[in-house]
Structure 1
């Protein structure tokens, strides 16, 4: 747990959940017998329904602990590119999430790219990432020479 998170927990601003590993109460599927689907964590942001219909979705996940790796895996398994922002995580847990993501992209034939410090883009096999150099024209629009 990071120092800011510890201070926030001490002040009572956030819950003090220092259990970082899966436990028995973290079960698969719906928790209630009502047939409700698994509810997406509010820290996971997905594009609108119109984007979902056309297949142009991308998800941003900012995990707090390794427990949030499940959301990353479920989105990636559905074929959604996922941006994983690990800047708020403890370095040891962040490494575990990166290891999980590496196994995920290996198993599903995707790719992983570092976007910024501790921010990664996981893309499915059918997605092409255009790099900065490939997207820039050689005779710049604003070339005033």
Structure 2
């Protein structure tokens, strides 16, 4: 064989071998199935958790932690502070303000003694204007 033929066979696609492609079927294991299912999010569970509103009427400061637990669990909470004395009500609002801030939520005053605490997954639109001509004794502290 001459050098010319050797170079020609080296650079051409003349193969002496025959390639056969075989398709191999690998059965899916449970770990592969789990990895595929981890990307699936149930929209119904997301809707139920964000649509719950809790109404609370605390009587002591000790109930503030239970209210905060609801907010941390992504539930909106309406708090009526009519049954709590003024000092404890201020402490409750301060505690819940810190809780709401920690989870990037929001706290809004609905009335003279009523507040709405919402986690970040709840959007509140609109506002309530105060139409009280007399300033309530309770509001002087806020």
- TM-score, structure 1 length as denominator? 0.53
Look up the match of 1:97. 92
Aligned residue pairs total: 83
Look up the match of 2:55. 60
Q: SS of 1:59's equivalent?
A: strand
From 111, 127, 132, give the equivalent of 2:106: 111
Structure having the higher Rg: 2
Q: CA RMSD in A?
A: 2.1
Shift of 1:118: 1.2
- TM-score, structure 2 length as denominator? 0.54
Shift of 1:132: 5.1
Shift of 1:70: 1.4
Q: Equivalences for 1:114-125 in 2 at 5 Å?
A: 114-125=109-120
Shift of 1:54: 2.4
Q: SS of 1:82's equivalent?
A: strand
Shift of 1:53: 7.2
Q: SS of 2:108's equivalent?
A: strand
Q: Distance in 2 between matches of 1:93 and 1:127?
A: 27
Structure 2: give runs of 5+ residues left out of the alignment.
Answer: 1-45, 129-142
Structure 1: give runs of 5+ residues left out of the alignment.
Answer: 1-51, 134-145
Q: Equivalences for 1:1-145 in 2 at 5 Å?
A: 54-55=48-49, 56-131=51-126
